[in-house]
Amino acid sequence: MKAAVLHELGKAPKYEEFDEPEAGEGEAVVRVRAASLKPVDQQLASGAHFASPRELPLICGTDGVGDLEDGTRVFFGGPRRPFGAMAERTVAPRAFCFPLPAGLEDDTAAALANPGVSAWVSLTHRAKLAAGETVLILGATGVTGQLAVQIAKLLGAARVVGVGRNEKVLGKLEELGADATIQLDQAADALKEAFLNEMGHGGFDVILDYLWGGPTEALLAAITKAEFATATRETRFVQAGESAGPTIKLPAAVLRSIPLTMMGTGGIPSREILVDAMEQVMTGGARGELRIETERVEMAQIERAWNRPGQPGRRLVVVP
């Protein structure tokens, strides 16, 4: 069969022949329809990710959409190495094959599942977002950030503020449900003032951060109190990405002056939480409540597409 085969870490995969997969106990062979090309796929193939492969060659791709042997159309995740999602066929745990609703296109389902479920779990399971609360999305112009804006509104957030650099995508966030936006590319004093203006007197109940680095330092500096003040409500800060930098300086005053709880996304949640999130996200996609822009790439062109800059806020989808 044809597949996107990785021979060397740090290099683009090549379109070539690979052995056919065979299912073991608890597994299913999937005929692949589409697989999204995500940052994590590129990180794994570069050798920079903690879970990067140690044995090569293998097929790239961590999840996708395809058909089981009985014809059931599913989203699948966790293909068994050396098999991956960017192939004509792959093998995946049956427990990670989720039937898809009718009306949801293959490309949309392949692109939506990973970032959509990630944002859903971060806002529900980790941040415990409640209806009527205020949410700040740091990195709202990325694929996952745009979905986080939409999901926060679906979950009943009263106010959602999107923060990002890309002016074009930032301008579209109101269509996705954002009540306000903040442009990151401005002077430090102006950026601090923008954060303070959007906080108002009540502050943010939830902050979902896909950036880290300098933007997060600027935000934390803005919300830090300069005097003793009565705590009104807690801010739950969920760290979900590091596209602006892997580290920050965290002054003690940040944690001592305001009721702030900082947490990570917490790794892979339980299957029960994952299944519920998957159903909610895919149903939202089928109903048109969750939107994502995609760009289709033929698998035969994978070597050229691998490192090509994609359109901001749009996900590449590889099709056999």
CB 291 within 8 A of CB 150: yes
| Whole-number Cα distances in Å, 250 to 216, 221, 256 | 10, 9, 11
Please give the Cα distance from 164 to 273 (Å, whole number): 29
pLDDT at 298 over 80: yes
Mean pLDDT, range 125-152, rounded to an integer: 96
Residues paired with 87 in a beta bridge: 3
Q: What is the pTM of this model?
A: 0.90
Burial class of residue 208 in the structure, from the number of CB atoms within 10 Å of its CB (0-12 exposed, 13-18 middle, 19+ buried): buried
- pLDDT bin (cut points 50, 70, 90) of residue 20 is very high
Question: To the nearest whole number, what is the mean pLDDT of the chain?
Answer: 92
Tens digits of residue pLDDT in 191-224: 889 998 998 767 899 999 999 999 999 999 988 8
User: For the chain, which domains are there?
Assistant: 2-99+292-319 (3.90.180.10), 114-264 (3.90.180.10)
Q: What's the confidence (pLDDT) of residue 226?
A: 61
pLDDT at 228 over 60: no
Higher pLDDT, 34 or 312: 34
Please give the Cα distance from 78 to 289 (Å, whole number): 27
Tokens coding 27: 């597994």
Please give the Cα distance from 294 to 313 (Å, whole number): 9
Q: What's the confidence (pLDDT) of residue 223?
A: 87
Q: What's the confidence (pLDDT) of residue 50?
A: 83
CB 134 within 8 A of CB 155: no
CA-based nearest residue to 234, from 207, 211, 215: 207
Tens digits of residue pLDDT in 157-177: 999 999 999 989 999 999 999
Q: Which residues contact 263 (CB under 8 A, 6 or more apart)?
A: 126, 236, 237, 238, 239
Q: What's the confidence (pLDDT) of residue 267?
A: 73
Share of the chain above pLDDT 90, in %: 76
Q: What's the confidence (pLDDT) of residue 49?
A: 82
Q: What's the confidence (pLDDT) of residue 258?
A: 86
Tokens coding 104: 């949801």
DSSP strand E in the chain: where?
2-6, 14-17, 27-37, 58-59, 63-67, 73-77, 89-93, 97-99, 134-138, 159-164, 180-183, 206-209, 235-239, 260-264, 293-298, 314-319
Please give the Cα distance from 133 to 120 (Å, whole number): 16
Residues paired with 260 in a beta bridge: 235
- pLDDT bin (cut points 50, 70, 90) of residue 189 is confident
Tokens coding 290: 């969750």
pLDDT at 231 over 60: no
Mean pLDDT, range 301-319, rounded to an integer: 86
- pLDDT bin (cut points 50, 70, 90) of residue 30 is very high
